[in-house]
Amino acid sequence: MSAAPTAPSSPPAKTKAPLGTLYRGREGMWSWVAHRVTGVAIFFFLLVHVLDTSLVRVSPEAYNEVIGTYKNPVMGLGEAGLVAAIVFHAFNGVRIMLVDFWAKGPKYQRVMLWIVIGLFVVTMAGFLPRHLMHVFGGE
């Protein structure tokens, strides 16, 4: 008795990312990364801010020196970066809450990300010219 010949087996098909992943490799992933980076940057700013402000109780002269170092164009650009981080973090945080708590949030998360980017650009376009004139114009 002979067994019927079997067809050669084909290699298993590659599978896509699991259906439950919204962000992997897409815009949402970069939004996730940017949200973490801006959060850490804001945290370190707040840490430095509390430390240099507390200097006034230890030595008002040292405090005045530190504040004097902040009055240069490089720090002005840093302030612009800080505002950009805060604005993105705030708008993206609202988007994340909508994705998490609104039933249709996951469906519209990509559209909401583009809205966040649009709001970010509009907000920064309103802020940057005035701020940079102040930093470099000496107002």
The secondary element (H helix, E strand) that includes residue 3 is none
Collapse the DSSP code of 127 into the 3-class scheme (helix H, G, I; strand E, B; otherwise coil) and give the result: helix
**CA torsion sign, 15 to 20 to 21 to 22?**
positive
The DSSP-derived string for 5-16 is PPPPPPPPPPP-
* Total-model pTM: 0.77
The ranges assigned to domains in the chain are 27-137
80-113 as b/e: b if 16+ CB within 10 A: bebebbebbbbbbeebbeebeeeeebeeebeebb
Largest CA distance in the chain: 101
Assigned CATH for 27-137: 1.20.1300
Per the structure block, which two tokens stand in for 95?
């988007």
Tell me the pLDDT of the chain (139 aa) as tens digits.
566 666 666 666 655 555 555 556 678 888 999 999 999 999 999 999 999 999 989 999 999 999 999 989 999 999 999 999 999 999 999 999 999 999 998 999 999 999 999 999 999 999 999 999 999 986 5
